[in-house]
Amino acid sequence: MTSLRALALLAALTGLLIACGDDTSIAPVRLPVGAACDRCSGGVPADAKLCDGGLAVGRACLSRGDGTCGYDFPACPLPAGYPCATCEGPAADDAKVCPGGVGVGRACLYRADGSCGYDFPACPGLPGEPCATCAGPAATDAKPCPGSAAVGRACLVRSDGTCGFDFPACPAPVPGAACSSCAGAPPDDAQLCPDGTSVGRRCLARADGSCGFDLPGCPGTPCDRCSGGATLDAKLCGGAGPVGRACLHRADGTCGFDFPPCPGVPCATCAGVAPSDAKLCPDGAALGRACLSRGDGTCGFEFPACVP
């Protein structure tokens, strides 16, 4: 009687499985979802799934996690060069030499077709280049930089090819930017500016990245470089028309986009000697050159405007 009940139970279970579809079978043990099964009933569907990078994967006989198996899509493989869990056989003991002299051996990596094999990983970046990841948190200390703000640690390639939280190189200071410190004492000389003021030496960044006591540009005179971009507004200068902003020295020694003086405004000083020529005005008056501001913020010997 017991054997008859067992056969009846087996027949009922077999009928249930057939009703579930031709691609379903009982797994020998309850496997996790996505694990490979030994056998699935029926034929494999011919459709495919497109993964990142253009790789297409077909269906495989996989566990559904409930004790059954079916033809489902496996997870897309990780990108080529990403570490694999296992590779067949031992790795070859050869190596490739990367820029900077660092040697790298083969590793168990994903390939472009989604398989795993012993291939050479990508060469590490050169020392100081950014790394994708570093272990642990970065320290919160910082290093001062001449002519610019301090820099904190970043995830960078080290000289041995490993990655770690190190200080990046200081950014190149803008010549003329204020430095935090200079060696020695500043000379006590000064320069006379076109507006009649004088400026003494300041601790400033130089073009070679060092800091020293130099004479800053006079307020309103052109700078070599300004950060950002100039706004598109303008100021009216009477008969001279509008003037836009220019990269100019400011009174605090910094550079920024400010309005230069209107052309024709008297300056306190001009370099050199004024030419001796003159211009004839409509009323017959002859005007010689004068030390006047120009549209670019400089001063020079120019002809003043004729009196209407």
The per-residue pLDDT for 62 is 92
From 102, 91, 142, 146, select the one nearest 124 (Cα to Cα).
102
pLDDT tens column, 147-162: 566 889 999 888 777 7
Q: Give the dihedral sign, CA 73/79/80/82.
A: negative
The per-residue pLDDT for 180 is 74
The per-residue pLDDT for 134 is 82
According to DSSP, the residues that pair with 213 across neighbouring strands are 203
- Are 260 and 234 in contact by the 8 Å Cβ rule? The answer is no
First to last CA, the chain: 130
Q: Distance from CA of residue 231 to its chain's centroid?
A: 25
Count the neighbouring beta carbons within 10 Å of the beta carbon of residue 88. 9
Q: Residues 116, 160, 99, CA angle at the centre, nearest 5°?
A: 70
Average pLDDT of the chain to the nearest whole number: 79
pLDDT tens column, 244-295: 888 888 877 778 888 887 888 888 778 788 888 988 988 888 888 998 887 6
Is the model's pLDDT at 145 over the cut of 50?
A: yes
From the number of C-beta atoms within 10 Å of its C-beta (0-12, 13-18, 19+), residue 268 rates as middle
**Lowest-confidence region among 102-106, 120-124, 203-207, 236-240:** 236-240
From 197, 225, 232, 222, select the one nearest 296 (Cα to Cα).
222
pLDDT tens column, 71-96: 999 888 777 777 888 898 898 889 88
Domain locations along the chain: 21-76, 190-302
Band the pLDDT of 165: cuts 50, 70, 90. Answer: very high
172, 176, 181, 182 alpha-carbon torsion, rounded to 10°: 110
For the residues of 70-111, what is the DSSP string, one character each? EEEPPPPPPPTTSBPS--SSPPP--EEEPTTS-EEE-EEEE-
- Are 275 and 301 in contact by the 8 Å Cβ rule? The answer is yes
Is the model's pLDDT at 7 over the cut of 60?
A: no
pTM across the whole model: 0.37
